[in-house]
Amino acid sequence: MKNLVFLKLGGSLITDKSRPYTVRESVLKRVCREIHEAKSERDFLLLVGHGGGSFPHVSASRYETHKGIINEKSWEGFSKVADDAARLNRIIVSSLIEAGEKAFSVQPSASCIARNDKIIEWYTKPIELSLSSGLIPVPYGDVCFDLGKGCCIISTEEIFRFLAEKLKPERIIMAGKTDGVLDPEGRVIKEITRVNFRDIENLLSSSDGIADVTGGMVTKVKKSLGMGVETEIINGLKPGILKKSLLGERGLGTIVRG
């Protein structure tokens, strides 16, 4: 699709990952306002995904949902993680609507099938129709039925990987709470490619706060390298950065080229 952008709102950006079930309300409202302002100033299609932050990661860590069906409590965990993820999604969709956008929820667990943590089936026609109608579809990190281990957790990056193959976005923006991917001295690594990733992989630290069952920054970068689309990791906590990125400005954070 022409002029299509994928945007991820990171869990650490929109929630307080050190406090279970806590949304950063002021940040979320401001981010949604920047999305609306960018959409008002430039003609482009937008799909917004988001992480779970302090919502599903709590139950997922407790029940070890990422390991699959491992005991008699696993399906109970599957249900609770799905509910936690959906609760956060409704908050984000409502905030986008309040900001003036025509957003709607896309529940991956209702339509995706995975095998060993990788999505292998997803009927995406409703997403395509929503984009062509000027809507903003909002999928999210969720549980998924898994043909290899019963169930799994699919990250937003895995969702983007699958959808990027189908929808061919022009670029992907990952908005988190740092200025990009940082080295041990706190300096931004301006560009990551398959060539230099091996050298910096050990330098990357995992996400802060409560357990992140989707693997932290290393996994996020690996997934980005596999998408085949220019991806930029930016700081969504700094007012105006997201809007500039949506309007087409590059070099605001770390660019990942697969």
The ranges assigned to domains in the chain are 4-257
The model's pLDDT over 173-227, given as tens digits with 9 standing for 90+, comes to 999 999 999 888 888 999 999 888 888 887 765 444 334 445 567 877 888 898 8
Is the model's pTM score more than 0.75?
yes
Residue 89, helix vs strand vs coil: helix
Q: Provide the CATH topology of domain 4-257.
A: Carbamate kinase (3.40.1160)
| 101 neighbors 36 (Cβ within 8 angstroms) | yes
Question: What's CA 236's distance to the chain center, in Å?
Answer: 13
| Range of lowest pLDDT (38-52, 117-131, 212-226, 237-251) | 212-226
Q: Please identify which residue in the block is written with the tokens 């061919």.
A: 168
Q: Which of 29-38, 123-132, 140-149, 187-196 has the lowest mean pLDDT?
A: 187-196
Least-confidence region, from 40-44, 86-90, 148-152, 200-204 = 200-204
Residue 71 has pLDDT above 90, yes or no: yes
Give the phi and the psi of residue 13 in degrees, each rounded to 5: -85, -45
Q: How far apart are CA 188 and CA 103, in angstroms?
A: 32
Partners of 176 in beta bridges:
235
pLDDT confidence band for 165 (50 / 70 / 90): very high
Q: How far apart are CA 183 and CA 43, in angstroms?
A: 35
> pLDDT of 118-139, one tens digit each?
999 999 999 999 999 999 999 9
Residue 198 confidence (pLDDT)? 82
In the three-class reduction of DSSP (H, G, I as helix; E, B as strand; rest coil), residue 6 is classed as strand
Q: Which ranges constitute the DSSP H helices of the chain? A: 11-14, 25-41, 56-63, 74-98, 125-132, 156-167, 194-200, 216-225, 241-246
